[in-house]
Amino acid sequence: DGGCLRFNSDYVLLTWQPLISTSDKYQSLDWKQAFLETVLTICSLLWRMWLQLFYLSWKVLGNGDTWNGGDYMTAPGGGQKVNLLKAALQNMEEDKVVLFIDSYDVVFASGPKELLKKFQQTNHKVVFSAETLIWPDRHLEDKYPHVREGKRFLGSGGFIGYVPNLKEMVSDWSGKDNDSDQLFFTKIYINPEKRKSINITLDNKCRMFQNLYGSLDEVVLKFEDGRVRARNVLYDTLPVIVHGNGPTKINYLGNYIPKVWTFETGCSGCLEDLRPLSGLKVGCSFNGKYSGDTVMYIEEYFESDHGTDYLDVKVIGPEENIDRETSRNLGFEMCRQDKDCEYFFSVDIEVVLKNKDTLKILIEQNEPVIAPMITREGRLWTNFWGALSADGYYARSEDYVDIVQRRRVGVWNVPYLTKVYMVKASVLREELSANDLFSFGNMDMDMAFCHNVRNKVSIGKPFEKCFILNSVCQGVFMYVTNMHTFGRLLSTENYQMTHLHNDLWQIFENPMDWEERYIHENYTKIMRDKLIETPCPDVYWFPILSVTGCDHIVEEMENFGQWSGGGNTDTRIQGGYENVPTIDIHMTQINYQKEWHKILLDYVAPITEKMYPGYYTKCTSHLNFVVRYKPDEQPLLTPHHDASTFTINIALNSKDTDYQGGGCRFLRYNCSVEAPRKGWALMHPGRLTHYHEGLRVTAGTRYIAVSFVDP
Ligand SMILES: O=C(O)CCC(=O)C(=O)O
Ligand SMILES: [Fe+2]
């Protein structure tokens, strides 16, 4: 009834054998034969009478054999398939119909009934799949019969025929494993006598076979009640067999056809065959030149949340100063060497994992290579590609946006993964350790489908850095799951490494992450609730910066270090003035003006509008600075008006813990806010009514961040 049969190698061949004869013998696996013959004799009589069903058996050829048939990217090959077929045909009864197809890159969109019907409608004895592109010998083009409509060239990846005709067809074959099967069949086909005597035709309009190479644009998914087919829009046909030949593979179509994912059921198999978890050993590598912050972040994640579960996490920190490829390869190697290592999990710098069950979920899916879907907030950037273009680069698949935005959830076979993935260690060892280590220079292309990789290799890029594991690419499919949300992809292209706390500057690039880290945890709560009043009229306060936010700003300023008293001649001040010079550093001096303005717009303006209904501010603010009070430096600020419509005054550290004294006193009301809480902003009108002073700091150091907003 359609379905997908996959084997982890390139050279597995699958033969369907529809039994449409009157024979009562069932060709099957030996150990079942006796039992099946009895059962089938009875069943077949009943079925034939009432239902007229077809009987099938299938044989996988070449499974476990070494493939000597070459590699289509380098030279024509595939002769091994003909050798296998020729041998297999010897034992088949003459009245059978045999379907001979490649295996791991093939999906069935429908079953044998439809296939046989279509075969019989051709009125030929052997039908080959057709291709758009001629291969391997384009000089033979003229010899091909012309067709009015449809594909003209023969593809050997799929054909169907009666046993005697197939036998005749391969009788002359004496080729070697690495000779071209396609050339052999082509020569038979273009020979008019042979074509006639064997009675061969091509499935020009893809009624049975759809080869995808050179034809991707012709095929769309057709969703019908509870099932999915491929539709060839060029010929308006519904092919039964879809073959991702050449570099195309079947990732996209295979994710749906015939019932893998439907609108009615969602993903049908995603929760089946889950691997139970027990005592697993997982190797992890975090790859990249992390800022100290990010390393801490990741360490925190694993140590606090998973410290006891995952004993063998090894973080290679920035002090080792290695690049991400080296780090990843170190990890690969460590896992391969350690016989207990069952899975290898690789995470690059830009990935922020938030789902504590990530490893569990990935392991349960029991796939050779699987990644959690990680997206960049508000963008369509992810850690996977939905499709590959013909030349092996990125192509957007029809469903990419739906998957990224989780309108379709499931476990998706994709041609390209990067930045974060989990690989079964057995795959690493068995498939990869042998010899096929490819390496190439494109930093992002760390784990790609082999055809992609081979393209890269063949176009001769510099290949020093990143190991590509060829066999993984050969037949091991890669998956990405969006069954859950896992985390975010940080944007790093504008990540500057010039500051002490570079993450502070990420408010534009990575706003979600920035907010989570630097904005006070109660900010949104306060926004919803009533503003908190202070004892002083028209003075409010609210939490705005997190403790980390305060600390980072102070540390950034101390790191910059150029504290100075300003005044009206201060060249740092443009478009405003400080009535009372303070010992301070301005945001402009550390290049934080744009970012600070964004903080005011995003987190202060909404509060202001709540406080003064109808007052909308653009938060124009030329004066944003951090003031430092010390008993022996600048202990206080004498009474003054601010040159502002309103002032934001954020406490960056804590009274009693960090300093004694301090606070802000409003002289007209003879009232003060004496112990502003760390991370909280004091907000007050700047002129006339709110004549104020900074109270004396008697011990320690007090820091505040001040903004004069006007208007
Ligand atoms: O010390 C305080 O809280 C007041 C600071 C202040 O008024 C200013 O910087 O303009
Ligand atoms: Fe002031």
Q: 642 CA distance to ligand 2 centroid (A)?
A: 5
The residue whose CA is least distant from atom 6 of ligand 1 is: 694
Residues 467 and 540 grouped into a single domain: no
Least confident span in 346-355, 450-459, 502-511, 549-558: 450-459
The tens digit of pLDDT for each residue in 264-279 reads 989 887 887 787 776 6
- Domain C-terminal end among 205, 238, 267: 267
The C-alpha atoms of residue 239 and residue 203 are separated, in whole angstroms, by 10
Parent domain of 40: 3-267
Handedness of CA 150, 154, 157, 159 (dihedral sign): positive
474 and 598, same structural domain?
no
305-314: average pLDDT: 54
Whether 477 and 511 share a structural domain: no
How far apart CA 548 and CA 570 sit, in angstroms, is 30
Residue 694 Cβ contacting ligand 1 at under 6 Å: yes
Which residues make Cβ contacts (< 8 Å) with residue 277, sequence separation at least 6? Answer: 360, 363, 364
489 versus 123: which is more confidently predicted? 123
pLDDT class of 655 with cuts at 50, 70, 90: very high
- Asked whether residue 276 is assigned to any structural domain, the reply reads no
Which ligand places an atom closest to the C-alpha of 705?
Answer: 1
The answer to the question of residue 277 being in a domain is no
| Ligand 1 nearest atom to the CA of residue 582, by list position | 9
Q: Is residue 274 part of a domain?
A: no
- For range 692-707, the mean pLDDT: 96
User: Is residue 464 over pLDDT 50?
Assistant: no
Regarding whether 559 and 460 lie in a shared domain, the answer is: no
In this prediction, residue 375 carries a pLDDT of: 92
Nearest-ligand number for the alpha carbon of 693: 1
Q: Are 650 and 587 in contact (CB under 8 A)?
A: no
Cα of 316 vs its chain's centroid, Å: 23
Same domain, 101 and 197: yes
CB of 706 within 6 A of ligand 1: the answer is yes
Looking at the chain, the number of H-run helices and the number of E-run strands are 19, 43
In a domain, 246, yes or no: yes
Q: How confident is the model at residue 294 (pLDDT cuts 50, 70, 90)?
A: very low
Residue 221 lies in a domain: yes
Is 230 found in the same domain as 173? yes
Read off the pLDDT of residues 318-327 as tens digits, 9 standing for 90 and up.
677 776 666 7
Residue nearest to atom 2 of ligand 1 (CA): 694
Asked whether residue 250 falls in the same domain as residue 300, the answer is no
Band of pLDDT at residue 570, cut at 50, 70 and 90: low
Give the bridge partners for 127, in sequence order.
160, 201
pLDDT (0 to 100) of residue 580: 60
Question: Which range among 54-63, 198-207, 586-595 shows the weakest confidence by mean pLDDT?
Answer: 54-63
Mutational test site, ligand 1, from 623, 646, 647, max ligand atoms within 8 Å of CB: 647
User: 373: which 2 tokens?
Assistant: 């879907």
Tally the residues of the chain: 711
Report yes or no on 272 lying in a domain.
no
- Identify residue 158 by its one-letter amino acid code: G
Positions annotated as catalytic residues are 702
* Backbone CA torsion sign across 34, 36, 38, 44: negative
CATH of the domain at 339: 3.90.550.40
CA of 406 to the centre of ligand 1 (A): 49
pLDDT recorded at residue 465: 25
Ligand 1 neighbour 650 (Cβ under 6 A): no
pLDDT of residue 571: 52
pTM metric for this prediction: 0.69
- Most confident by average pLDDT, 74-78, 283-287, 341-345, 547-551: 547-551
The C-alpha atoms of residue 24 and residue 697 are separated, in whole angstroms, by: 101
Query: Which stretches of 199-250 are DSSP H helices?
Result: none
Atom 4 in ligand 1: residue holding the nearest Cα: 694
The number of folded domains in the chain is 3
Average pLDDT over the chain reads 78
Q: Is 627 in the pocket of ligand 1 (CB under 6 A)?
A: yes
**Domain match, 225 and 305 both:** no
| Of 645, 664, 665, best ligand 1 pocket probe by most atoms within 8 Å of the beta carbon | 664
- Indicate which ligand has the atom closest to the C-alpha of 697: 1
Same domain for 256 and 211? yes
Cα 336 to Cα 536: distance, rounded to the nearest angstrom: 67
What's the distance, Cα to Cα, between the start and end of the chain in Å? 71
CA dist 611 and 540 (Å) reads 8
Q: What is the mean pLDDT of residues 481-487?
A: 94
In a shared domain, residues 548 and 644: yes
In a domain, 495, yes or no: no
Question: Alpha-carbon distance 344 to 14, whole Å?
Answer: 32
Structure confidence by residue, pLDDT tens digits, 209-266: 999 888 888 999 999 988 999 999 999 999 999 988 766 666 788 889 888 899 998 9
Q: Is 642 in the pocket of ligand 1 (CB under 6 A)?
A: yes
Q: 129-138, 270-279, 456-465: which range is least confident on average?
A: 456-465
The answer, yes or no, to whether any atom of ligand 1 lies below 6 A from the CB of 584, is: no
Contacts of 655 (CB under 8 A, 6+ apart): 661, 662, 663, 674, 675, 676, 702
Same domain for 422 and 468: yes
Last residue of a domain, one of 267, 294, 319: 267
ipTM, interface predicted TM-score of the complex: 0.98
Question: Does ligand 1 come within 6 angstroms of the Cβ of 422?
Answer: no
Residue 205: its pLDDT value, please? 97
- What is the rounded (10 degree) CA torsion for 267, 273, 279, 281? -70
Q: In this predicted model, what pLDDT tens digit does every residue of 388-401 receive, in sequence order?
A: 666 556 677 889 99
Is residue 302 exposed (0-12), middle (13-18) or buried (19+ Cβ within 10 Å)?
A: middle
Q: What is the pLDDT of residue 113?
A: 83
The predicted model gives 665-690 an average pLDDT of 92
Q: Report the DSSP pairing between strands 219-224 and 200-203.
A: unpaired
- Residue position matching structure tokens 């119909």: 97
Residue 39 has pLDDT above 90, yes or no: no
Report the CATH number at residue 543. Answer: 2.60.120.620
Residue 693: pLDDT band by 50, 70, 90 thresholds? very high
Query: Does residue 307 form part of some domain?
Result: yes
Query: Residue 703: which of 592, 619, 596, 626 has the closest Cα?
Result: 626
| Ligand closest to the CA atom of residue 584 | 1
Q: Whose CA is nearest to atom 9 of ligand 1?
A: 706
Q: Which of 240, 267, 294 is the last residue of a domain?
A: 267
pLDDT interval class at 446 (50, 70, 90): very low
**Residues 258 and 303 occupy one common structural domain:** no
Give burial (CB, 10 Å; 0-12/13-18/19+) of 148. exposed
What per-residue confidence (pLDDT) applies to 512?
A: 82
- Ligand 1 close to Cβ of residue 98 (< 6 A): no
pLDDT category at 18 given cuts 50, 70, 90 is very low
Query: Confidence band (pLDDT; 50, 70, 90) for 332?
Result: confident
